Amino acid sequence: MPKWSPWVLLALILILIFGPQLLPGPDREKIGFAEFITQVQSGKVDEVKLNNTTLGITGKFTDGSEFTTTAPLGFPNENDRTMFTEKNVDFQPTTPQSNWFMNLIPLLLPFFLIFGLLMWMNRRASGQMGNVMSIGRSRAKAYTTDRPSTTFADVAGYEGVKTEIKEVVDFLRMPERFKEIGARVPKGILLVGPPGTGKTLFARAVAGEAGVGFLSVTGSDFMEMFVGVGASRVRDLFQQARKMGRAIIFIDEIDSIGRKRGAGLGGGHDDREQTLNQMLAEMDGFETSEGIVIMAATNRPDILDPALLRPGRFDRQIVVPLPEFEERLAILKVHSRDKRMGPDVDLEIMAKGTPGMSGADLANLVNEAALFAVRRGSSQIERIDFESARDRIMMGARRDSLILSAEEKRTTAYHEGGHAVLAAVLPNGDPLHKVTILPRGMALGVTQTLPEERHSYSRDYIEDRICMALGGRVAEQVVFGQQTTGAANDLEVVTGLARRMVREWGMSDKVGPMAWHGQQQVFLGEDLMTGGREYSDDTARTMDEEINRILRVQEQRAIELLNKHRAGLDLVASALLEHETIDGAEVGRLVQQGLGEPTPRADATSLTD
């Protein structure tokens, strides 16, 4: 029975009860009883109808108009009847029969209410029981061959990744070709890469290219407060895929259920491990001939259980890295297709100036540029909007409400000037883009460099980064003879770089070619049995000494360079106090002017040239 049926029944009952009373009656004049008797005696009344139950009188005058009145108790007596006869009045007394339905309603209404209450309680109990009984069903979203409509054409760049995945598409389209030659397509494909690189988009594109069913689920969908629910949902997920014939199962964020078993502080027998055990069993339980391919995505492959990654389960791992220049350019073009772009926008320059950004970051960059254009009241996105959007993403939002005192502003100018001068003169650092003393994000000022496309870092490059990062603190010491708290973040960065040089990259002659990573995460439990450290106290002391030596050497180097370029530092600080923001080319020119000879990075250019 539909849910709206009781309401319709109740409305019908109300209409039957109150409908006749609400209907408009004939137009009758209401008069008093005395006037009614006077009109009868005058011979002006032609017809009278009396309701013996309510003593209501309705009648008609000789001119055709109607009237109504109410009679007193005892009406009509013998005199009244004689008067009606003498005046030729058609007197019609009636006694209406009682409505049995109306008399029955008061008796049946409590039963209707009790019956309705019982039905409501039964439906609530059935719904809750149904939810409990269906709690073990998979929460995967099933898409038909029409959805998703995403194809490889919608994925910009990543030709190498597309080639790797194309075998899966060909197998799902034409499995006979693989059967004839005896080739076995991987059962599972694991997409590995940083967040925002488009791993989920690749899975949808594979389903769209192959034209098969697509089941999408996240790792957290298997987790529930009830024990055994995760394993039940895994079983139901694979049953759904088998019913679809050829299908793709996509598990996003598989690391939430695929962590290493038997690790951590909580023991090894929990529902997450049982869910993983069931998934391993299901992946072993079907053959590639069934036409089911499992795809999963994660940005933490290091914490996955080895049994999940062995051949026969996730046979192939495909790395989806951060996009290179050509790929960033293609991604920017895709996200700019439906935007109104100005003639001065050069996406190639923006692609060169955004190394390290993922596809999601680039999409956000284009959207932020559009928002800046709307904020300016412009009808199209211009180059200045992209510049503002990139500054917001890389350096943080500008804090107009923060007002620095004259002394703080001068200190900040020399602090950022120290970074900028060293970035301009150091031979192996990144090119300087711009420097500003306008508060952005949590910083009072920002010196922005544009990292070049690098896949490995030399020792000289890292040392120049440390020296440049120490430039702000050193400039304060050289100019004012004291340090401020503004260098706190710089010290964290340089200490981390120096520690990795010594402990991980083998860039210390005293420690030698040895590597010790930091402690593993507690939930993995890999450090609990080893005591948490793989080296002796003497080695730890040596590493601390080497880290301190590297930082001291680069600090002394920064002091020497800033003393050498003190005139250029003063010029840069004065320009910052006057203009608040200057670009890299201007810094190079000021350093060259202060030194009186060309600097190694004087020809550095920036996107604002």
CATH code for the domain of 552: 1.20.58.760
HSE toward the beta carbon, residue 65, CA cutoff 13 A: 9
What rounded mean pLDDT belongs to the chain? 78
CA distance 425 to 590: 12
585 and 474 in a common domain: yes
Name the 3-class secondary structure at 345: coil
Structure tokens at 108: 């049946």
- Which residue spans within 71-183 are E strands per DSSP? 90-94, 141-143
What sign does the CA torsion over 584, 330, 146, 247 have?
A: negative
Q: Are residues 241 and 261 in the same domain?
A: yes
Other CB atoms within 10 A of residue 50 CB: 20
Q: Kindly tell me the sign of the dihedral angle through the C-alpha atoms of 165, 219, 149, 327.
A: negative
pLDDT for 521:
46
In a domain, 335, yes or no: yes
At residue 597, does pLDDT exceed 70? no
- For residue 375, the domain's CATH number is 1.10.8.60
Task: Count the neighbouring beta carbons within 10 Å of the beta carbon of residue 111.
Answer: 9
How confident is the model at residue 145, as a pLDDT?
47
Task: Say yes or no: 214 and 334 in one domain.
Answer: no
Q: Tell whether 337 and 295 lie within a shared domain.
A: no
**In the predicted model, is pLDDT for residue 163 greater than 60?**
yes
The answer to whether residue 226 sits within a structural domain is yes
* Token representation of residue 444: 């009072």
Q: Is the pLDDT of residue 281 over 50?
A: yes
Q: Which of 153-162, 395-404, 440-449, 487-496 comes out lowest in average pLDDT?
A: 395-404
Same domain, 461 and 542: yes
Name which of 96-105, 308-317, 367-376, 483-492 the model is least confident about: 96-105
Name the percent of the chain lying above pLDDT 70.
79
- Are both 225 and 160 inside the same structural domain? yes
| Residue 401 pLDDT grade (very low, low, confident, very high; cuts 50, 70, 90) | low
- Contact between residue 461 and residue 604 where contact means Cβ atoms under 8 Å apart: no
Tell me the H-state helices in 470-583. Answer: 471-480, 488-503, 537-564, 566-579
pLDDT at 558: 92
Beta strand extents in 176-308 (DSSP E only) = 188-192, 213-218, 247-252, 292-298
pLDDT on residue 434: 84
Is residue 101 in a domain? no
Compute the average pLDDT of residues 310-318.
81
The boundaries of the domain holding residue 450 are 406-595
Question: Does residue 451 lie in a domain region?
Answer: yes
**Is pLDDT at 607 greater than 50 in this prediction?**
no
User: What pLDDT sits at residue 469?
Assistant: 92
Structural contact between residues 423 and 461, judged by C-beta atoms closer than 8 angstroms: no
Same domain, residue pair 390 and 435? no
Strand 432-436 versus strand 56-61 pairing type: unpaired
Q: What CATH number is attached to the domain comprising 39?
A: 3.30.720.210
* Active-site residue identified among 416, 476, 555, 586: 416
Tell me if 534 is assigned to some domain. yes
444: which residues sit within 8 A by CB, 6+ positions away?
402, 404, 408, 412, 415, 437, 486
Q: Looking at this protein, which amino acid is placed at residue 187? A: K
- Residue 290 appears among annotated catalytic residues: no
- For residue 427, pLDDT over 60 is answered with yes
Report yes or no: 135 and 178 within 8 Å, Cβ to Cβ: no
- Looking at the domain assignment, is residue 581 inside a domain? yes
Contact yes or no for 279/243 (Cβ under 8 A): no
Domains in the chain, number: 4
The type of residue at 582 is I
Sheet holding 66-70, edge to edge: 29-30, 66-70, 56-61, 45-51, 90-94
Q: Is the same domain home to 562 and 446? A: yes
Give CA 31 to chain center in angstroms: 75
| Rounded Cα distance, 123 and 461, in Å | 71
Confidence of residue 557 (pLDDT cuts 50, 70, 90): very high
pLDDT higher than 50, residue 131: no
Please list, residue by residue across 320-351, b when 16 or more beta carbons sit within 10 angstroms of its beta carbon and e when fewer do: bebbeeebbbbbbebbbeeeebeeebebeebb
Judge whether 105 lies within some domain.
no
**Residue 338 scores a pLDDT above 90:** no
Distance between CA 463 and CA 468 in Å, rounded? 9
- Cross-strand partners of 249: 215, 294
**Confidence band for 22, pLDDT divided at 50, 70 and 90:** low
- In angstroms and rounded to an integer, the radius of gyration of the C-alpha atoms of the chain is 43
Residues 390 and 415 in one domain: no
User: How is residue 232 annotated by DSSP?
Assistant: H
Backbone phi, psi, residue 561, to 5° = -65, -40
**Boundary-marking domain end, from 394, 423, 452:** 394
Of 298, 319, 340, which residue sits at a domain end? 319
Q: What is the pLDDT of residue 609?
A: 30
Position 556 pLDDT exceeds 90: yes
159 and 56 within one domain:
no
Q: In 3D, which of 594, 579, 236, 294 has the Cα closest to residue 425?
A: 594
Q: At a CB cut-off of 8 Å and minimum separation 6, what does 83 contact?
A: 37, 40, 41, 89
Q: What is the CATH number of the domain that holds 270?
A: 3.40.50.300
Element (DSSP H or E) covering residue 61: strand 56-61
pLDDT, position 225: 53
Using DSSP, state whether 595 is helix, strand or coil. Answer: helix
Please report, for residues 98, 139, 197, 276, 302, the alpha-carbon distance to residue 223 in angstroms, rounded to integers and kept in the order given: 66, 11, 26, 11, 21
Are 543 and 444 found together in one domain? yes
Angle of helix 471-480 versus helix 488-503 axis, rounded to 10: 130
Nearest CA among 91, 34, 83 for reference residue 59: 91
- pLDDT tier, 201 (very low <50, low <70, confident <90, very high otherwise): confident
Report the pLDDT averaged over residues 414-433: 89
Long-range contacts of 197-200 (CB under 8 A, 24+ apart): 197/320, 197/321, 197/322, 197/323, 197/358, 197/359, 197/360, 198/155, 198/158, 198/320, 198/358, 198/359, 198/360, 199/252, 199/297, 199/320, 200/250, 200/252, 200/297
Under DSSP, is residue 184 helix (H, G, I), strand (E, B) or coil?
Answer: coil
- The residue out of 61, 94, 127 marking a domain boundary is 94
Provide the residue type at 281 as one letter.
A
Say whether 125 sits in a helix, a strand or coil.
helix
Residue 285's pLDDT is 64
Q: Does residue 374 form part of some domain?
A: yes
Residues 471 and 557 placed together within one structural domain of the fold: yes
Q: Where are the alpha helices (DSSP H) in 211-312?
A: 229-243, 271-284, 306-309
Nearest 5°: phi and psi at 466? -65, -45
How far apart are the C-alpha atoms of 502 and 508, rounded to whole Å? 5
Helices (H), 285-404: 306-309, 325-335, 347-352, 359-376, 383-395
